[in-house]
């Protein structure tokens, strides 16, 4: 699986909770959230566009930083 890094405009536990909820709905991804740095790392075989659109469902600004 490829590990992707995203910047997500998260400011609180509620924000990171929203990210957790939308990613858990995918089912086949592993992820780690760094709230102070506003970063999310996702391990998945899904394409970047699908992961980006999924993250945007939490209502926050999202930017793809590349693979890690």
| Tens of pLDDT, residues 20-63 | 999 999 989 999 999 999 999 999 999 999 999 999 999 999 99
Residue 53 confidence (pLDDT): 97
Whole-number pLDDT of residue 31: 98
Main-chain dihedrals φ then ψ at residue 24, nearest 5 degrees:
-65, -30
- The label of the residue with tokens 């509620």 reads 14
**Please, which pLDDT band fits residue 68 given cuts at 50, 70 and 90?**
confident
Burial of residue 40 (number of CB atoms within 10 Å: 0-12, 13-18, 19+): buried
Phi and psi torsions of 45, nearest 5°: -95, 0
Global model pTM greater than 0.85:
yes
CA distance 44 to 2: 6
Give the per-residue pLDDT at 24. 97
Helix, strand, or coil (residue 52):
helix
């Amino acid at each position: 699986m490829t590990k992707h890094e995203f910047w997500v405009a998260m400011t609180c536990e509620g924000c990171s909770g929203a990210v957790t909820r939308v990613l858990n709905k995918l089912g086949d991804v592993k992820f780690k959230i760094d709230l102070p740095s506003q970063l999310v790392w996702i391990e998945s075989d899904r394409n970047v566009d699908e992961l980006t659109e999924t993250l945007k469902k939490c209502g926050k600004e999202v930017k793809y930083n590349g693979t890690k």
